[in-house]
């Protein structure tokens, strides 16, 4: 059986089912209990599972992640919520210096199976720090997995996989997509494997790599270009930024000979640069044009009315496709 759910509903269902399935799972974060979280992802879970499993914490991100690390080392499977990715900086030291390193530091004696859920990205007219897209900080950290669902189906399946993963996982939730659309989601528990990209649309003229909210924007641009010029774009949702599905990226570029990477994070040292380097290393002789990136700009995410000028739009992506195919 399946029903149509939004991403936020799919996340709530995954948390609810894992709380019921495994007594080691618990949630912690600011306002996640009585209020149900800033976006209501945990609404109703306190009354259903109790205050020992759904814990309201003080406004102290370092304490939330530090507590989650301690819980995971003592046999629990904590899911910590940070209200926005731009608020994670007070906990940065706990994430990169401790959660990500404990397996290596103890030579495999201890692991830290914890999930950090956090909304990220622009598109809802949030203030500056509410709209950050700084996934690169964490992809650059060995020992930490980073996943980004772009659909309700993936949100539920990837979150269940993340909770069951033996290592820490940063689970980035695109705020712009929380309630943007619905799709069929199975009622039962299922897993979407971490580290596996998804071919969203098959194509032969150009490969587009995107994730999070940029996936739907890229799909709009590809549809326009097909209608205008008849070009066929292969669109790949990376789903996991670390580990990256290198095989899927290389196989697609070998097929189409052209690549366009779309992300809303800053261009300099963004994930697009890493993917470009990977293609140059392993598929250079297959390229018919330089790899192109369409990204956010190297400035803080601007306020409200300027936000649309910062984000990659279908028009900017369309232009990127034309420049690459006609190179």
Catalytic residues: 130
Whether the CB-CB separation of 182 and 6 falls below 8 Å is answered with: yes
> For 166-182, b where at least 16 C-beta lie within 10 A, e where not — what string?
ebbbbbbbbbbbbebee
Helix, strand or coil for residue 166? coil
Q: Cα–Cα distance between 327 and 323 in angstroms, integer? A: 6
Whether the CB-CB separation of 212 and 219 falls below 8 Å is answered with: no
Q: Cα–Cα distance between 321 and 222 in angstroms, integer? A: 8
CB within 8 Å of 12: residues ≥ 6 apart: 40, 41, 42, 43, 44, 45
CA 187, distance to chain mean position in Å, is 22
Q: Nearest 5°: phi and psi at 186?
A: -60, 145
Tokens of 14: 């995954």
Is residue 152 reached through a cis peptide bond, with omega within 30 degrees of 0 on the bond before it? no
Q: Cα–Cα distance between 313 and 246 in angstroms, integer? A: 26
Strand stretches in the chain, DSSP E:
2-5, 25-29, 54-56, 77-81, 115-120, 145-147, 169-174, 183-186, 198-201, 206-210, 233-237, 240-242, 259-266, 292-296
Tokens of 271: 């994930």
Q: Cα–Cα distance between 193 and 159 in angstroms, integer? A: 10
Residue 62: count of CB within 10 angstroms of its CB: 15
């Amino acid at each position: 059986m399946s029903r149509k759910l939004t991403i936020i509903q799919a996340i709530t269902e995954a948390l609810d089912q894992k709380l019921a399935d495994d007594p080691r799972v618990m949630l912690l974060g600011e306002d996640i209990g009585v209020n149900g979280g800033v976006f209501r992802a945990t609404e109703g879970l306190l009354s259903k599972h109790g205050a020992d499993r759904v814990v309201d914490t003080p406004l102290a991100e370092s304490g939330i992640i530090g507590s989650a690390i301690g819980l995971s080392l003592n046999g629990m499977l904590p899911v910590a919520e940070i209200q926005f990715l731009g608020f994670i900086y007070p906990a940065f030291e706990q994430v990169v210096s401790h959660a990500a390193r404990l397996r290596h530091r103890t030579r495999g004696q201890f692991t830290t199976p914890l999930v950090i859920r956090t909304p990220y990205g622009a598109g809802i007219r949030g203030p500056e720090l509410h709209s950050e897209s700084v996934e690169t900080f964490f992809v650059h950290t060995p020992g930490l997995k980073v996943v980004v669902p772009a659909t309700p189906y993936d949100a539920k399946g990837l979150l269940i996989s993340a909770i069951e993963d033996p290592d820490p996982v940063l689970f980035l939730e695109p705020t712009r997509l929380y309630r943007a659309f619905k799709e069929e989601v199975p009622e039962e528990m299922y897993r979407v494997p971490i580290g596996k990209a998804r071919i969203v649309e098959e194509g032969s003229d150009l490969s587009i790599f995107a994730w999070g909210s940029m996936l739907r924007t890229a799909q709009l641009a590809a549809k326009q270009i097909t209608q205008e010029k008849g070009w066929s774009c292969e669109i790949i949702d990376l789903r996991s930024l670390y580990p990256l599905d290198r095989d899927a990226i290389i196989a697609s570029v070998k097929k189409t000979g052209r690549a366009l990477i779309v992300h809303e994070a800053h261009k300099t040292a963004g994930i697009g640069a890493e993917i470009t380097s990977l293609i140059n290393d392993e598929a250079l002789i297959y390229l018919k044009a330089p790899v192109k990136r369409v990204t956010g700009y190297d400035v803080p995410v601007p306020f409200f009315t300027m936000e649309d000028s910062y984000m990659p739009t279908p028009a900017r992506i369309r232009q990127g496709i034309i420049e690459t195919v006609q190179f």
